[in-house]
Structure 1
Amino acid sequence: MSPDSGPYNYLPSRTVAIIMLTLFGISTVVQAGQATRYRMWWLLPTACLCGIIELIGWSGRLWSSFSPLASTPFQIEITCTIIAPTPLLAANFVILSLIIHKLGAQYSRLSPRLYMIIFTTCDVVSLVVQGAGGGIAATAIDAAGSNNGAHIMLGGIVFQVVVIVAFSALAIEYFTRYHTDSPLSSRIGASREKESQLPSGPVRGAFTGKILLMSSALAFSTLLLFIRAIYRTAELADGWHGKIISDQVLFNVLDGAMVILAMYTLNIAHPGLLLATPAEEKEPNESI
């Protein structure tokens, strides 16, 4: 039988799989080291977990390059590569909350804590739905069961797209209000009370070069994950034998490369380097 008749509708590239495994492996190890160095333990269940799941998924893809007709490695690959970026997105939610804490919560529609609670909860829901769909698809005994699993995964991805859009809209509003110095009146009182400021108002943090770099990296990473989520939405909506899922280049570029770039963006523009206070830089501690 030809590889074209297998679950991928093509023969997965062994070279690309090895390159991706190497890149994800390096980034994940560095993420773990940076999380330990700066005692930002929240990076372990977010960025590091993303890297680990991607490694499992791309291992399945490498396996498929040897056995393109086997269903098990395909199910490992499709399930893991779909859910893997979800924890990484949660890291972006935490980073925005740290930036808001630095610059001033009076410009934010939500408190820094609420950003983490609301969006991380939504992220977990998306992860559970995608994982459940992947499990159903992987254990299905017929095409109908596999399609049901794909539909559930599609629902989880669509929900994730909605979450990214909502998060991005709130982030854009926050930075716009900060740069125009237009605080929300409902937030001024809360910020003033929490920070025990004088009646003149809560503190407005300085938009330093480091915060600019961190904010730019956050925007770039979120855009990458959004592009990737749109691709996976179109892929699943098109079906197991559609044109999108059958195009290997699209997958490598719009899924693998997007997540790789997002991972390395966080490695380079790291919150431990860019959001720590001078005291924290001398003696790293947990930032949340």
Structure 2
Amino acid sequence: MDQIDPSMFPPGMDQDDIADAIANYYYSCTEVTATCPVEATTLGYYPNRGINIFMAIGYAVALVATLALGIRKKTWTYTGFICAGCALELAGYAARIPLTDNPWNKHAFETQIVAIVLSPTLLCISIYLTLKHVCLALNPALSRVRPHLYPFIFVPLDVSCLLVQAIGGALAASAALSNFAMVQHGNRCIIAGIVLQVVVLMFFGSSAADYFLRVKKWINSEGADPGAVALWRDKKFRTFIYVVSAAYSGILIRCIYRIAEMAGGWGNEIMQHEPSFIVLEGFMVLIPCLLLAFFPPGILFPQMAARMSAPGRVGLRRKGGEKSDAERQTPADGHESQQQAVSGDESAPSDGQVKEKPAATPAVVEPTSKGAA
């Protein structure tokens, strides 16, 4: 629009008025014609039908697998956010299928934009939950932040990034018919939200890497807890960590690509290049969804599944602000085993001894040893 000849328009119209007039005209297009060419659409091309059907099927498979295994293992929160992310991606790529016939289909275009922008945030929430449960299972005291606080730190930050993007999208949509400059401001707001999301993801990655290095050093020490060592060396647990790391990396790459895609404004050269969109947006989210679906914590990391499915959420803070036994574990000595923290006092009376107690004996007994639950 910067290269449009002003002489083509009535006298007195400046460049901004011309840009608004052109945006208004193209916004009224409903199908591809000689005066509404496909090159003038935001995408600038006819999306490939086959690849978008393939992507939609892939997300549908991930959704069904996540739901089936999540219900079976009762990892409700973790499963719920992944399912929501997969469902949005499915809706987004299903909406791109009508665009293969008519790139001017506004409802389909808006649906795919909203769905595809929102979904990675929901997937990230599930990834953020894993750090909390890994810390609780290995050694909570090695974490620089109390494990239970991780979701309360990263989830609001991630949602805030999403809200910034939503505000930008609302500004762009409300001004699409009359104010091209406002559309550009909305675009800058969207970019700011994506940049913040990348910062949050990198902050999370650095926190997880820091904890990994601290645990690795502790595991190789003489005071390491045997239960933690066994979990650290368990092939299923390590597979789960690799899966979550790969999913995190894919979503981070996608967000970085989004910055470059939006930097040039709507309809820029990168946004109108379908192969890069399919690889860096589509597959960088589809692969994490499939990995998280088929390698769930219910199978590979049962300690996490047990905490998430237990009534009252085992491991949460007790009444009165008292720390749970898992959080009391000391990092250096490792004298208290984590199995003791979970199972309670090993000196508890046997079933036969309990039966011999009088009926008036209270049901709740104050713990007398440090390991009592």
Equivalent-residue separation in structure 2 for 1:230 and 1:61 (angstroms):
22
Corresponding residue for residue 53 of structure 2: 18
* Deviation for aligned residue 1:130: 2.1
Greater CA drift, 263-272 or 148-157: 148-157
Contact 2:98 2:108 in 1 (8 A): yes
CA contact (8 A) 2:65 2:294 kept: no
1:117 maps to 152
1:108 aligns with 2:152: no
Query: What is residue 228 of structure 2 aligned with on the other side?
Result: 205
Contact 1:5 1:69 in 2 (8 A): no
Q: Deviation at 1:204?
A: 6.5
User: Do the aligned partners of residues 135 and 114 (structure 1) sit closer, same or farther apart at CA in structure 2, a change above 3 Å counting?
Assistant: same
1:240 partner amino acid:
W
For the 8 Å contact 1:99–1:211, the answer to whether it is kept is no
SS at 2:100 equivalent: helix
Which secondary structure does the structure 2 equivalent of 1:225 belong to?
A: helix
Contact 1:82-1:232 at 8 Å conserved across structures: no
Stretches of 4+ moved more than 6 A in 1?
A: 200-204
- Call closer, same or farther: CA 1:68–1:120 in 2, change over 3 Å: same
C-alpha displacement of 1:81: 0.9
Counterparts in 2 of 1:155 and 1:84: CA distance versus 1, 3 Å: same
TM-score, length basis structure 2: 0.67
Are positions 1:235 and 2:251 aligned together? Answer: no
Q: Contact 2:170–2:186 (CA<8 Å) still a contact in 1?
A: yes
Aligned position for 1:190: none
Larger radius of gyration: 2
Aligned residue for 2:185?
A: 148
2-structure distance, mates of 1:83, 1:225: 12
- Report the alpha carbon displacement of residue 122 of structure 1 after superposing the two structures with TM: 0.9
Matched, 1:218 2:244: yes
Cα distance in 2 for partners of 1:248, 1:139 equals: 27
Q: Tell me what 2:338 maps to.
A: none
Partner residue, 1:130: 165
Shift of 1:128: 2.0
Judged with a 3 Å threshold, the aligned counterparts in structure 2 of structure 1 residues 278 and 254 are, in CA distance, closer, same or farther, namely closer
Unaligned runs of 5+ in 2: 1-32, 315-373
In structure 1, list runs of 5 or more residues that go unmatched. 183-199
Give 1:259's aligned residue. Answer: 285
Deviations 1:210-260 (A, max 9, x none): 221111111111110110000001111121132210110000000010100
CA distance in 2, matches of 1:234, 1:86: 18
Are 1:163 and 2:186 an aligned pair?
no
In the TM superposition, residue 176 of structure 1 has moved relative to its aligned partner by: 0.5
DSSP 3-state at the match of 1:242: coil
Q: Give the CA deviation at 1:116.
A: 1.0
How far apart are the structure 1 equivalents of 2:272 and 2:298? Answer: 40
1:139–1:54 distance in 2 versus 1, CA, 3 Å: farther
Task: Quote the Cα distance in structure 1 between the aligned partners of 2:281 and 2:154.
Answer: 22
Cα RMSD after superposing both structures: 2.5
**In the alignment, residue 55 of structure 1 is paired with which amino acid?**
L
Higher relative contact order (CA 8 A, sep 6+): 1
Task: Provide the rounded CA distance (Å) in 1 between the counterparts of 2:59 and 2:182.
Answer: 32
- Deviation digits for residues 252-285 of structure 1 (CA, Å, limit 9, x no counterpart): 000010100000111122111111149959xx65
Distance in structure 1 (CA, Å) of the matches to 2:310 and 2:291 = 22
Distance 1:145 1:57, change over 3 A: farther
Aligned residues: 270
Alignment-derived partner of residue 191 in structure 1: none
Does the aligned pair in 1 maintain the 2:63–2:293 contact within 8 Å?
no
What's the offset of the Cα at 1:44?
4.4
Q: Give % identity.
A: 28
Question: Deviations 1:127-152 (Å, cap 9, x if unpaired)?
Answer: 22223323333343243333232222
Shift in alpha-carbon separation, 1:223–1:278, aligned structure 2, 3 A: closer
8 Å CA contact 2:42, 2:266 repeated in 1: yes
Name the residue aligned to 1:9.
44
SS in 2 for 1:10: coil
